[in-house]
Structure 1
Amino acid sequence: MARLPRLYAPDLPHLAQARFASPLAMPGAAPGADMPDRIVAWLAEDARTQKVAIHGWVLTPDQLVLLATPAGPAGMSALLQALGRRLAAHLRSGRVYAGRFRSTLVEPAAWVLPALIWLETLPVRQALVAEGEHWRWSSAAQHMGAAPQGLVSDHTDYWACGNTPFDRQAVYRRMVLDGLGLTQARRIEQALQGQWALGGEAFLADLSQSASRRPVAARRGRPRKAPADNAPPALENPPDNNVSPIKSELGDTRI
């Protein structure tokens, strides 16, 4: 089966997930934090070069997840390719990513903050830390006021959490502590896995007019055929043409 082209629409955030072919060296598994720190520095530089506004990010031993808005249709791919080339040159271990990265478009004002929470709590779900803000290689600490602003360009949905940085951090912290509902988490994971857009019906309908490809999966099965224009109208009580019933071993039939 031919793989789907990238789903893109102007000025919309993407949730992207790139899994590593081999786990990265992280504290507890190897001495020091040189490798992940180096990747974060590369990420900041390549995001500026490729004109990708990063709203949230997390780096764990097995994957990199970004919530970001690229300036053009190839921006996200170019960013991850540039990062992959740097990693390949540094590690000298062959393939960097375990296959093609996955991505989905995210509806603003509805799914950006849930996607951000899902992303920044990934280290908690992987049992790397008890709280997301304590994971060093993530934007969680910045969004909750535990670290200075780094490579993040906050989305307007995060800014709408309050009028001051303190207000925004406090509101967002409460949202993270409340957590996502099971249905919300599943919607995010399914959209990312299938690489279909994440949003409501109205958003998806509008997106079908502006996106690079259809934003939702097609219905299974063959489409129904429309009746021919010159087909005769169906009769409400069709004649039986003097058909006589004949009893057989299989029951009542007509000939």
Structure 2
Amino acid sequence: MARLSRLYAPDTPQLVQVRFTRPLAPPNEATPADKLDLLAGWLRDAARENHVPVHGWMLLNDRLALLATPPDKTGLARTVQAVGRRFATRIQKGRVFSERYRSALLQPGAWVLPALIWLERLPVQLGYVDDAGRWPWSSAAQHTGLASAAARWTTEHADYWHQGNTPFERQAHYRRLLEQGLPATQARRVEEALFGQWALGDEAFLARIGRDSTRRLLPAKRGRPPRQTVVESEPRSDEPREEDASSA
């Protein structure tokens, strides 16, 4: 099966995840802070170099995930590739990503905030920490008010800004959402869209971005197309019917 081309639509947020070929450290060893610090810096620099507004990001021992609105078809790919090149020369020789990154297009106003919560809760979900805001290698500390001004480099999405009229209100409200996490059905829809590399939104959103997207937005329906029934026409009045022809 041919691999899918990159999914892109203008001015549309994307959730992205790429896994590392080998984890930065085994599960029984301490978190490799020095390596994660390097990767975080390379991600920040690569996003700036490629003019990609990043709304959220997260690093673990085995993966990188981010939420961004790329300015063009290649901005995200160039950003991930730049991180990979530095990774391969400073931390781990050879191939550093186990596969091409996976991505999903997201409908603003409906799925951007759930996707942000999903990615910033990964350290909790996978047992690294109990409080997502305390994981140093993600944007959660910025969104919950725990990060210093110097550590803030992401571009807040409008869906985050709508959580309150002041920074304090936004941070407090988002902190509650992050602590609660997503309902299981909502988290599953985010994961299915990301791992399947599809778009996530309602019919109007899909119709709007479908005109300018680089490929189809949803998986094709399984199975063969329905078989069409052939309707036989009645014989003309001047043609013999089957019983008449047999008796002739």
The answer to whether TM tops 0.5 is yes
- Mapped partners of 2:30, 2:22: distance in 1: 14
* Aligned match for 1:215, one of 211, 214, 217: 217
- Mapped partners of 1:33, 1:27: distance in 2: 14
Give the CA RMSD over aligned residues. 2.5
Instruction: Give, in angstroms, the shift of residue 204 of structure 1.
Output: 1.5
Amino acid at match of 1:130: D
What 5-or-longer segments of structure 1 have no aligned partner?
243-255
- The corresponding residue for 2:84 is 84
- Mapped partners of 2:136, 2:189: distance in 1: 27
Instruction: Give, in angstroms, the shift of residue 25 of structure 1.
Output: 4.2
- The corresponding residue for 2:166 is 164
Structure 1 residues 1-255: aligned runs within 5 Å: 1-25=1-25, 29-30=29-30, 33-149=33-149, 150-224=152-226
Distance change >3 Å, CA 170–CA 10, structure 1 → 2: same
After superposition, the C-alpha distances for 1:206-235 in whole angstroms (9 at most, x for unaligned) are 22212111100111233347789xx77689
After superposition, the C-alpha distances for 1:42-93 in whole angstroms (9 at most, x for unaligned) are 1111101111110000000000000011111011111000110001011242
Instruction: Give, in angstroms, the shift of residue 24 of structure 1.
Output: 1.5
- Please give the TM-score of this superposition, normalised by the length of structure 2: 0.88
After superposition, the C-alpha distances for 1:152-200 in whole angstroms (9 at most, x for unaligned) are 1000100111111001101111211222111100000000110010112
Instruction: Give, in angstroms, the shift of residue 201 of structure 1.
Output: 2.0
- Mapped partners of 1:93, 1:53: distance in 2: 29
Contact 1:25 1:35 in 2 (8 A): no
Contact 2:131 2:179 in 1 (8 A): no
Instruction: Give, in angstroms, the shift of residue 32 of structure 1.
Output: 5.9
